[in-house]
Chains A and B, each alone.
Chain A
């Protein structure tokens, strides 16, 4: 096996020229080479310090060589931005409709460290929209299904599942060390607490919710007003009122749209760009096919 300092050399040796859809030839580190080189590192140094797949991919990106699995990200993320994604830390709460689809996108994108919490188990009413809910996963923990899915998708992702409902003190610990918080909760009740704790942690919060064909996505910077401040914690038949989803439901098109939008914004932030929705909400209505930015 190559000595430690030979990783760059090993990567160069396994790199090949690949024709791209635009006709250009491009250096690429093939997918099997990443796995081979990571296995070699596993034998040399063990897996104690995170994924060696991520280590190989990071080394390749640093050499200016894209790993094959990220090729079709095209120029949406530069090699430096892709490397930054691999080094980034995200904390997401909720692994239902929004969280399952967001996790799918973020794991495929190569967000290197994802901590995700949900104490819930799958039930049949989740089948209309939740990516991680299948006939097989019914009755099981959402966090366990998420861990299995991430392992299947991208071994470069260091995934930390938490099969617990987080109260506010737990949220504080859960967000520690994260670069970004993702609010993929269902319902109104826990969202204000997550907004507060993200502000306390000093990190941006990307939030989204839907009801029927309508929904929104927003980014809340620490200390700024967020949708949860306006909507409140709700409460059945209480003065706070119910969320509109209690009557309109949560159909898949709106949920997947919101999850894709929040993932795109999360990737913008994690790869080092300015948040595009800071202080604003993107409000959509798929029945009218309308999208509108609202300044909060």
Chain B
């Protein structure tokens, strides 16, 4: 199964080359995905799947659009 990944702001450097169709396995959680991408846990503040905020234990499903967001405070 495949998902689409978007890494925002300072997390963009963790974007995999195949971000639009990233291979994942049933049962993999968002937290495990972030770990696999090499994102330090302290830098990951907001994860959303298909436009809804989820916790790190949310499981991925085929075709999910995953957004990964760090803390952003500039003004």
Which A residues contact B (CB, under 8 angstroms)? 94, 96-99, 184-188, 191, 208-212, 214-216, 227, 230-232, 234, 239-245, 247-250, 254-255, 258, 283, 285, 288, 290, 292-296
Contacts and interface: CB of A to CB of B under 8 A. Distances in A.
A96 B75 CA distance: 7
Contact of B74 (A232, A240, A245, A288): A245
Interface in B1-40: 6, 8-11
A295 B71 contact: no
A242 B75 contact: no
Contacts of B10: 211-212, 244, 247-248
Contact of B73 (A245, A255, A285): A245
Given A292-B67, A293-B51, A294-B52, A241 B42 contact: yes
Contacts of B6: 285, 288, 290
Chain B, interface residues (CB within 8 Å), range = 20 to 34
Given A244-B10, A248-B9, A285-B8, A188 B48 contact: no
B45 A211 contact: no
A208 B75 contact: yes
Given A214-B9, A231-B45, A247-B10, A186 B51 contact: no
Contacts of A296: 53
B75 A210 contact: yes
A257 to B, nearest CB: 12
Nearest to A247: B10
In the A-B complex, the 6 residue pairs with the smallest Cβ-Cβ separation, listed nearest first, are A245-B74, A243-B73, A244-B10, A188-B73, A186-B75, A231-B71
Nearest to A280: B51
Looking at chain B's contact residues, the main secondary structure is: mixed
A227 B43 CA distance: 15
A61 B43 CA distance: 51
A239 B75 contact: no
A243 B52 contact: no
Given A214-B8, A244-B10, A247-B10, A209 B72 contact: yes
A288 to B, nearest CB: 8
Contacts of B52: 294-295
A98 B75 contact: yes
B48 A294 contact: yes
A283 B74 contact: no
A129 to B, nearest CB: 9
B15 to A, nearest CB: 10
B75 A250 contact: yes
Given A231-B45, A292-B67, A186 B72 contact: no
A270 to B, nearest CB: 20
Nearest to B49: A294
Contact of B75 (A184, A227, A290): A184
Nearest to A212: B9
A240 B43 CA distance: 9
A211 B75 contact: no
Instruction: Indicate the member of B43, B45, B53, B74 with the most A CB atoms within 10 Å.
Output: B74
25 contacts: A98-B75, A186-B74, A187-B75, A211-B72, A215-B74, A227-B46, A227-B72, A230-B45, A231-B72, A231-B73, A239-B42, A240-B71, A241-B70, A242-B71, A243-B72, A244-B74, A245-B72, A245-B74, A248-B10, A254-B74, A258-B75, A283-B69, A288-B6, A294-B51, A294-B52
